[in-house]
Amino acid sequence: MKKQLLTSLVTAAVLSTAALSASAQNIAVVNGKAVPKARAEALKQQIEQSGRPVTPDLEAQIKEEVIAREIFMQEANRRGLANSAAYKQQMELARQTILIRALFDDFVAKNKVTEAEAKAEYDKFVAANAGKEYKASHILVESEDRAKAIIAEVKGGKKFEDIAKKESKDPGSGARGGDLDWANPKSYVPEFTEALVKLDKGGMTQAPVKSQFGWHVIRLDDVRQAELPKFEEVKPQIEQQLQQQKLGQFQETLREKAKIQ
């Protein structure tokens, strides 16, 4: 009798331990079906990867979300929706999306941008942008005659800025009185650049300058040596840009190799 009682107690203890272990692995039991904590952890990781901190309140919301999903999933399965053509099509699209994302993540993980690659790209940027920066203003109009008239009006005493605000077809600079801010002269169209670099500080073009955008009246407001950011300041942006380029080249290579009939 004592031996049977001892055996029953041991069995009960083992079952209780097993139940506690299962409970530790589950976030809830919905209609008799266990909902594993792994689902909540996966959702939590997605949120953390997006840069959002997971607070205790958010953890509680995640738990409620996982439980709600299980409830809705059970009802959808009860109605046989998992066998519908629409569901299967959406699942196939989702499967493709996840697998393709895994492919791209795998490529990026194995083809990181090196320090040397980032530095080489920075050196190219410096070479293209070093030298002088020009602070220019312009008034853009549709006809050469109107541009000539504007030059005459400015010489006659009218304010360049007032005319730009009223008449310039370039809405961005026009609203600022024609101000184009500091820029490398190479950033403009060739006709504009050629006219700009010939001006003295404070000077204005004496004849309209034609470009693909219309007719320009250009004024040089100031000149300075280019102030370029240091490598460490722009390194993250350079790495991101180069990584996107590598991924794009990988995608293009796969397309070129594919036999499409």
Single pTM value for the model: 0.60
- From the options 3.90.25.10, 3.40.50.2300, 3.10.50.40, 2.50.20.10, give the CATH code of 131-225: 3.10.50.40
Sequence spans of domains, the chain: 21-109, 131-225
Backbone conformation region of residue 141, classed left if phi is above 0, alpha if psi is from -120 to 50, else beta:
beta
Q: How far apart are CA 27 and CA 65, in angstroms?
A: 11
Burial 202-235 (b: 16+ CB within 10 A, else e): eebbeebbeeeebbbbbbbbebeeeeeeebeebb
Q: Check residue 185 and give its pLDDT.
A: 92
The pLDDT profile of the chain, 261 residues, written as one tens digit per residue, is 444 544 454 444 444 444 444 456 899 999 999 999 999 999 999 898 888 998 999 999 999 999 999 999 999 999 999 999 999 999 999 999 999 999 999 999 999 999 999 999 999 999 888 889 999 999 999 999 999 999 999 999 999 999 999 999 999 999 999 999 999 998 999 999 999 999 999 999 999 999 999 999 999 999 999 888 999 999 999 999 999 999 999 999 999 999 998
Q: Check residue 24 and give its pLDDT.
A: 64
Cross-strand bridge partners of residue 35: 28
Between the alpha carbon of residue 29 and those of residues 15, 77, 79, 139, 238, the distances in Å are 18, 17, 21, 71, 49
Q: Check residue 15 and give its pLDDT.
A: 42
Q: Check residue 12 and give its pLDDT.
A: 44
One DSSP character per residue, 131-186 reads SEEEEEEEEEES-HHHHHHHHHHHHTT--HHHHHHHH-S-HHHHTTTTEEEEE-GG
Q: Which residues contact 41 (CB under 8 A, 6 or more apart)?
A: none
Query: What is the residue whose two structure tokens read 């039991």?
Result: 29
Q: Check residue 130 and give its pLDDT.
A: 85
